[in-house]
Amino acid sequence: MEDSGNFLRFGVALAIGFLAGLQREFALNDSDKKYAAGIRTFSLMGLIGCTAGFSCQVLGSALPLVASILAIGIILAVSHYLSSARSQNLGLTTETAVMLTLMAGAIASWNYLKLAIALSVITTVLLSMKKELHGFTKKLTREDIFASLKFAVITGIVLPVLPNKTFGIPPLDIFNFQKIWLLVVFISGISYVGFILIKLVGPRKGIGITGLLGGIASSTALTLSFTQRSKNNQELSKAFALAIIVAWTVMFSRVIGEVAVLNKTLAIQIIVPMLFPISVGLLYCIYLYIAQGKENKQQDIEITNPFELGPAIKFGLIFTVILIISKLATVYLGNAGIYFSSFISGLADVDAIALSLADLSRVHADLSETVAARAIVLASISNTLTKGGIVIFAGSPAIRKAILPGYLMMLAAGIAGIFIIQ
């Protein structure tokens, strides 16, 4: 049994090297450059790493692995120096991947097989995405870099220093500053990931896919943007309507995911009610996609980085206020107060009320998950009501005509979904 385990670990190490080497060999055939290592070398590096790690265990010393790293490092340094002198190629990607493969093989020898495989897959993905990643960086602006740094600050610096304990006087002993800020990071992260995806895919892939990604970032912002554009591009009204309905549909799905992060039981309870407007939205998207026909002309769509520190802090304040209102409504007004506060809050922001209700229903027994589920669906309907109002009152006649049937059907489906929650 012990021998079979060793064979498995060496087999994983070989597969790790083979996978990375396969990518490098493919890249070598696809370009005029010459790399220091190919499929055979990478496979051997995985085995060397595993052998060194195995030797460390047998001898009870880290010397075999250290010696292997030093020896391979010297060989790679000499090879890189000679190749760069001939071709002026200063890149270190292949050499770095070789060292990672060596270390992944060692990790596999210590029976951390999942970690070794994950490291290998990530390495191979990064090697394969050279053009996409370089193209992505060229699309970034100075403002995008600063926005990314701000996101890093609120995540890596502000979040860890906030106290992770509850403050407040009963019944308002509900303030956990780290938890509140974690939700700020979470919502900002959703917007940031949506922005990254838009940058990677590119807006010219189609207005519909932009609606999908925009729905991840901010369905309200996308609704405002496309509603304004509809006045000057009325021939694209059905395409804009398609993007908006896609974003609204994604919003309902996004709320389920957000709630699941804090309260999986509650998330399961809202899946079926949320499927009502999601299904209607998908069907109407199919109709608009077919109906737009030749209208689907590609245009550049201006997408800016959605992350700013000001809106993130504003969200934290909104969340805190909604947390207070929801708690007070629960204590003094009962279920009716929860529904009222959810509807009012949803008009401005569905994420804050959904997350606060998910948190309250998880830690406070006086708010039942049934009431919380109905309130979250109600807030989602309220938010859709606001976005529909934006299109109706600020959009062109053509986009109003295109979106109104789907808008009314999604509202009706959402209301129907509330009544099936038991």
DSSP string, 154-209: IIIIIHHHS--SEESSTT---EEHHHHHHHHHHHHHHHHHHHHHHHHH-GGG-HHH
Measured distance CA(101)–CA(122) in Å, rounded: 11
- Weakest mean pLDDT among 152-166, 194-208, 210-224, 226-240: 194-208
Q: Which tokens sit at 83?
A: 């190749």
The region of weakest confidence among 88-92, 369-373, 390-394 is 88-92
Domain shared by 268 and 412, yes or no? yes
Say whether both 273 and 291 belong to one domain. Answer: yes
Q: Please say if the pLDDT value at position 367 is more than 80.
A: no
SS (H, E, C) 123-153: HHHHHHCHHHHHHHHHHCCHHHHHHHHHHHH
Give the mean pLDDT of 21-36.
68
Give yes or no for a contact between 131 and 105, defined as CB atoms under 8 angstroms apart. no
The per-residue pLDDT for 33 is: 57
315 with 218, same domain: the answer is yes
Least confident of 34-43, 62-71, 106-115, 410-419: 34-43
Q: If you write DSSP's letter for every residue of 32-70 in order, what string do you get?
A: S---S--HHHHHHHHHHHHHHHHHHHHHT-SHHHHHHHH
Give the model's confidence band at 274: pLDDT under 50 very low, under 70 low, under 90 confident, else very high. very high
52 and 146 both lie in a single domain? no
Confidence of residue 52 (pLDDT cuts 50, 70, 90): very high
- Mean pLDDT for 387-397 is 87
pLDDT at position 204: 46
What is the amino acid identity at position 340? F
User: In terms of domains, do 112 and 171 share one?
Assistant: no
Q: Is pLDDT at 32 greater than 60 in this prediction? A: no
Asked if 147 and 197 sit in the same domain, the reply is yes
140, 121: one domain: no
If asked whether residues 194 and 120 sit together in one domain, one would say: no
Span 322-338, pLDDT tens digits: 667 766 766 677 677 78
Decide: 235 and 257 in contact? Cβ < 8 Å: no
Domain count, the chain: 2
Together in a domain, 198 and 299: yes
Which carries the bigger pLDDT value, residue 15 or residue 147? 15
Mean pLDDT computed over 96-117: 90
Q: Last residue of a domain, which of 76, 108, 128?
A: 128
Residue that is last in its domain, among 108, 128, 148: 128
Q: Are residues 109 and 155 in the same domain?
A: no
Say if pTM beats, i.e. exceeds, 0.85. Answer: no
Give Cα separations from 323 to 176, 180, 193, 338, 345 (angstroms).
11, 10, 26, 11, 11
| 78, 172: one domain | no
Q: What does the pLDDT read at residue 298?
A: 47
Both 8 and 144 in a single domain? Answer: no
Over residues 113-120, the mean pLDDT reads 89
In the chain, the percentage of residues whose pLDDT exceeds 90 is 19
Distance CA 292, CA 239 (A): 6
The residue segments making up the domain with residue 98 are: 2-128
Ranking 90-94, 189-193, 410-414 by mean pLDDT, the lowest is 189-193
At 299 the three-state DSSP class reads coil
Range name among 9-13, 90-94, 256-260, 335-339 with the lowest pLDDT average: 90-94
Where does a domain end: 128, 144, 162?
A: 128
